Structure 1
Amino acid sequence: MSYQQQRPPLNLDQRLNELLDAIKQEFDQVKNEAFRLHKDESEGKYNKQVAELRDIRNTVYNLQQTHERIKRQYEEDISRLKAELEQRDRQSSQLQYHNQQNAAAQTQQSPTQLPPPQTPQLQQQQPPNQLQTTQNGAQASNNQPNQLQTNQQITQAPNSADSQQSISDKPIPTFLKELDAQLVPEQWKKQTHEFYVLYNPALPKTLDVDLVHSFDHNSVVCCVRFSRDGKYLATGCNKSAQIYGVESGQLVARLTDDGNFLNGTNGAPSNAANPEANSGDLYIRAVTFSPDGKYLATGAEDKLIRIWDLSSRSVIQYLKGHEQDIYSLDYFPDGTKLVSGSGDKSVRIWDLNTSQTSLTLAIEDGVTTVAVSPDSSLIAAGSLDRIVRVWNASSGFLVDRLDGAELNNGHKDSVYSVQFTHDGKEITSGSLDTTVKLWALDTNKNGATNKANVKCEVTYRGHKDFVLSVCSTPDNEYILSGSKDRGVIFWDKNSGDPLFMLQGHRNSVISVCVSNNGIGGNGYFATGSGDCKARIWKYKRDFNQ
């Protein structure tokens, strides 16, 4: 009897456990439902914010495009009004000239003995900066005193609107028109079996050039770049990048990505995702060393940027985002970011800590060349639409368009090369219009430019075909340009005069670069050519004539 009395409590415990299990299950269901609802709500907010950011970005881009259209219209109106004012000035000057002649006829019996006054048309054709060049030329040749006197009279006349134009009306010197070493006197040339140099006979010879090393490649050499310390030279060609010792001329490394690329390792897509890997050709169109010299960035036709660790000769990063060939790369001076230019009409700034794009700058046409200013504050890019654009590197705002619209002295064809001078105050640009230009930048601490002082200072004329690459020496004394005419010209930066033409390749000079360790007018420069050669040259002050 006592045993039967104890059974009900056991049933109560079982029932209690069942109720607790039911409560637990219901709690789990409520918790899961709440988590799902919270997750859906969070994802909805996130998607909404992403959409809002995308709209803001599109709005900013549209505003930028509208701003550029308004600016172009404004510049066109300014140019038209300036032309009208100049026409009125010419008419007024002509009227004044006729009045002077009439007055002279009334007061003199022999008016033909009076010298004609200088007309404003001649004043406009001769800017003040050209006086010094004309004087130097007269001293060198010492046979045109009358022309010198005329030029002095012209520059003493009142300034006109055209006095702010660049040195752009100089004719191509005679010694650059034929480029035939056999027709040049011995004292104005240097000739070897590998190259020849033609000097400007109107100027004293101050530089000598010698070939240091020549490197054969298996294809066209698309690009050359020195390391910051000047000890190494990198070249890019089909399927590989090479690194050479500048002093020894020895091949230090040949970088090919066949293994990593085929296996799809290190973040690289496999062949299935990149049919370019099997297409045969893969030209390396851009190379650049990191500031510390430990890494090399390469850009190629497969739309990828590779970051190579030079100690292990392996790819440690793949930067993916461009939609067409990558044509140009440049490291920021601190080595934490990289800028790239592509045929997909965009410039990208990459954060190398995350391998992600931190800023994308879109334009209207393909980007052929990019450069970072020495203080990291500005980015310059040249494109197929003939314009050099300058952006604030932090905000991405367009600082200026170097198109010479106000004075009609911009490039007339696609810009293929840009570089900041080493002091960061100027930009050099080379174009398919066969010219090189020097642009002055007057920027404040916030990266904004003084519009009145952004102008084309000098136009360098002398090449007979496309200018494909430009650079400047570390002392900012000389500009170098490489061209499809197979030549490299050394220019005096300030006057725009060509010092000499180097003919050292049998095909286009696609890339030219100066080493940063040049001192006192002595240094190295390198060239890459369509003749499948890269060459290192040495320039030095030598002649005392």
Structure 2
Amino acid sequence: MNQGSAPLQQPINTIEQHADKLVNGLEEISKAVCQLKAVNQSLQHVYDQSVIHYLQLQEDTDTMRAMYRRLKAQYERMASQLQPQIEDPGISGQQIPGQQIPTSPGDSLELVQIPWEVSPPSFKSNIKLRYTLRTDSVVCSVCFNSNGDCLAFSNSKTVFIVSTQDGSLISTFDIPHTQNITDFNTRAIRISPDSQYLALGGPTHNILIYSIPSRRIIADLNGYHENKISALLFSNDSNTLYSGGFDGYLCIFQLKTMTLFKMLKHGTSESMKNGNEMIVALTKDDEESFIAVGFMNGSVGIYEPTFTQPMNSFKAHDQFLLDVATSPLDCSIATSSHDKTTKIWSLRGVASCRKTLKSHDDLVLSACFSPKEPICFTGSKDETIKAWDYKKGELLFTLKAHKNTLFELAHHPTDKILVSCSGDGLVCLWVYHS
């Protein structure tokens, strides 16, 4: 009996040995997988940090380029005063001298003519560059007033309000600076629906409120944000101002008293180091049934207008989110990203992506909608503006005029008019036909 069981015992021992080796091997593999996950998380953290530094470097580069252009323009003006210019009628294709627009001392705003092109060329008969304004620094934000008869933007020192019709100067406001801030470009400028207020993200993480009729600062909302103001939004009745910042704070101000009504903080100090909860955009629908908040981490948060319920959110992009816009036509949401795309979302029920607009060669910083047609315009670091039929996801045409990053596009509230601003210091007003 014992002699018969001996041959069986040996295979059993062998199987157990192999099983032990297999278990040990699986444990080693499991440890290796855990180590790889840890390494991957570390690399992802390094990547996120590098992208943030890259964007900051790009902003600094644009500022340096603007300073170079300003110094070059000053040099050329001095040279022209010392040596009269001789015009050669035989030379063609030169820039036609622009009309200097009267501004505050030290400022420069000029109507200029620039070359531009559209593709496919067949669209050129449907598009007109009504005018181009040149200032002496980067222009990061531009907006229309509620009836569209004027638009606002700023250089590093002055806010300009100009006529939509011909670009003529209507009003200017000085931007106060502190001694330790020598160069500043606001990321957010908005006019209230009643055209009484102009709000500006200021140089010290503050919000400046100007009275448009009296042309003076009536409030300096300071001490609420701890980082740059990245987005501003007025309520429909002009009584409330929403502000978003790179600190992840969403502040709600009552404009009748110019006081803080509520502050909503997103993220933790640790997550803010990666830029995860940085707010980059604010938007709402025409009925003001929701407020959408765009976060740099690629997600969009949706608040109901009383802000009494928790924020609902959805992941829009795996890479950095750079802008969010709402269509007046059907409440579609456009999200623009570092991944070179703009996505069109429906918020009915669960947020769902309807189309992905992909044609830009670099990150997309801005999107806006036509109020009457299913057209979405996008602006990119590739220096182009693209128009899309966002229902079909089809590219209609591409505009090329700017020589630097497109920072913001804004659509006229009623007419087929688009305004663009860029790191080249130009503000272009476009008129188009279907």
Whether the 8 Å CA contact 1:484–1:508 is kept in 2: the answer is yes
Corresponding residue number in structure 2 for 1:414: 320
Corresponding residue number in structure 1 for 2:368: 471
Q: CA RMSD in A?
A: 1.9
Quick check: 1:330 aligned with 2:233? yes
TM-score, structure 2 as length reference: 0.69
CA distance in 1, matches of 2:150, 2:190: 11
Whether the 8 Å CA contact 1:428–1:470 is kept in 2: the answer is yes
Corresponding residue number in structure 1 for 2:424: 531
CA distance in 2, matches of 1:336, 1:207: 42
CA distance in 2, matches of 1:398, 1:235: 34
Structure 2 portions without partners, runs of 5+? 1-112, 268-276
Structure 2 counterparts to residues 179-194 of structure 1, below 5 A:
194=115
CA distance in 2, matches of 1:536, 1:351: 33
Match of 1:304 among 176, 197, 206: 206
Between Structure 1 and Structure 2, how many residues are aligned?
Answer: 312
How has the CA–CA distance of structure 1 residues 277 and 512 changed in structure 2, closer, same or farther, with 3 Å as cutoff? farther
CA distance in 2, matches of 1:382, 1:413: 13
Whether the 8 Å CA contact 1:239–1:284 is kept in 2: the answer is no
Deviation at residue 317 of structure 1 after TM alignment? 1.5
How has the CA–CA distance of structure 1 residues 277 and 473 changed in structure 2, closer, same or farther, with 3 Å as cutoff? farther
Structure 2 counterparts to residues 153-232 of structure 1, below 5 A:
194-199=115-120, 208-232=126-150
SS of the residue corresponding to residue 187 of structure 2 reads: strand
Higher strand share: 2
How far does the alpha carbon of each residue in 1:431-467 deviate from its partner, in whole angstroms, 9 at most, with x for none? 111100111012xxxxxxx23xx21111100001010
Structure 2 counterparts to residues 328-477 of structure 1, below 5 A:
328-364=231-267, 365-403=277-315, 410-423=316-329, 425-442=331-348, 450-451=349-350, 454-477=351-374
How far does the alpha carbon of each residue in 1:93-118 deviate from its partner, in whole angstroms, 9 at most, with x for none? xxxxxxxxxxxxxxxxxxxxxxxxxx
Corresponding residue number in structure 2 for 1:114: none
Whether the 8 Å CA contact 1:236–1:286 is kept in 2: the answer is no
Deviation at residue 277 of structure 1 after TM alignment? 4.4
Quick check: 1:244 aligned with 2:162? yes
Deviation at residue 529 of structure 1 after TM alignment? 0.5
Q: Which amino acid aligns with 2:326?
A: F
Corresponding residue number in structure 1 for 2:386: 489
Whether the 8 Å CA contact 1:374–1:424 is kept in 2: the answer is no
The alignment-based identity, stated in percent, is: 27
Structure 2 counterparts to residues 285-324 of structure 1, below 5 A:
285-320=187-222, 321-324=224-227
How far does the alpha carbon of each residue in 1:387-438 deviate from its partner, in whole angstroms, 9 at most, with x for none? 11111120243443131xxxxxx31211111111114632111111110011
SS of the residue corresponding to residue 285 of structure 1 reads: coil
Corresponding residue number in structure 2 for 1:284: 186
Deviation at residue 491 of structure 1 after TM alignment? 0.3
Whether the 8 Å CA contact 2:372–2:414 is kept in 1: the answer is no
Corresponding residue number in structure 1 for 2:36: none
How has the CA–CA distance of structure 1 residues 300 and 413 changed in structure 2, closer, same or farther, with 3 Å as cutoff? farther
Higher CA-based Rg: 1
Whether the 8 Å CA contact 1:438–1:459 is kept in 2: the answer is yes
TM-score, structure 1 as length reference: 0.55
Q: Which amino acid aligns with 2:146?
A: R
Higher helix share: 1
Q: Which amino acid aligns with 2:253?
A: W
CA distance in 2, matches of 1:482, 1:300: 24
Structure 1 portions without partners, runs of 5+? 1-191, 262-275, 404-409, 443-449
How far does the alpha carbon of each residue in 1:370-391 deviate from its partner, in whole angstroms, 9 at most, with x for none? 1122122211111211111111
CA distance in 1, matches of 2:149, 2:172: 16
How has the CA–CA distance of structure 1 residues 476 and 428 changed in structure 2, closer, same or farther, with 3 Å as cutoff? farther
Q: Which amino acid aligns with 1:323?
A: E
Quick check: 1:500 aligned with 2:397? yes
How far does the alpha carbon of each residue in 1:509-529 deviate from its partner, in whole angstroms, 9 at most, with x for none? 1111100122xxxx1100000
